[in-house]
Amino acid sequence: MRIKIAEVVGENCSSIDDGGKLYQTIHKELQSGGTVELDFTGVQSIITPFLNASIGKLLDLFEKETLMEKLVLCHISQDHLRRINEFIDFKHEMNSEKTTLKMMKELFEEDDIGDIES
């Protein structure tokens, strides 16, 4: 599947709604194991709310490596590529920290370490 982002959301990828449109367009294809090519021809700007509602939401469903393998970025400027890669790295780090905290909390609760009564 190939998606021309400028045709789906316009030349400025800025809002949560824009990110949601992209997410809705591609997530089923990725869930079924397909590959999605994202064509950035004509895209002028990409900002965080858009990335959170599209790629960020995908990172909640797929491992970073899987997403990087299944999402192919085409005709993308170096600045946009850098921004997306930095976002993916940041989001992956945040997800990893959440997982670690959850595991630690479960471990403490299992060992009754978290709830010490006076």
pTM metric for this prediction: 0.76
Asked whether residue 78 is domain-assigned, the answer is: yes
pLDDT digits (tens, 9 = 90+) for 7-53: 999 999 999 999 999 999 999 999 999 999 999 999 999 999 999 99
Distance CA 62, CA 56 (A): 10
The pLDDT value given to residue 118: 46
pLDDT digits (tens, 9 = 90+) for 44-84: 999 999 999 999 999 988 888 988 899 999 999 999 999 99
Distance CA 53, CA 112 (A): 38
CA atoms within 13 A on the CB side of 10: 9
Asked whether residue 68 is domain-assigned, the answer is: yes
**Which domain does 103 fall in, by range?**
2-110
Give me the number of domains the chain comprises.
1
Asked whether residue 41 is domain-assigned, the answer is: yes
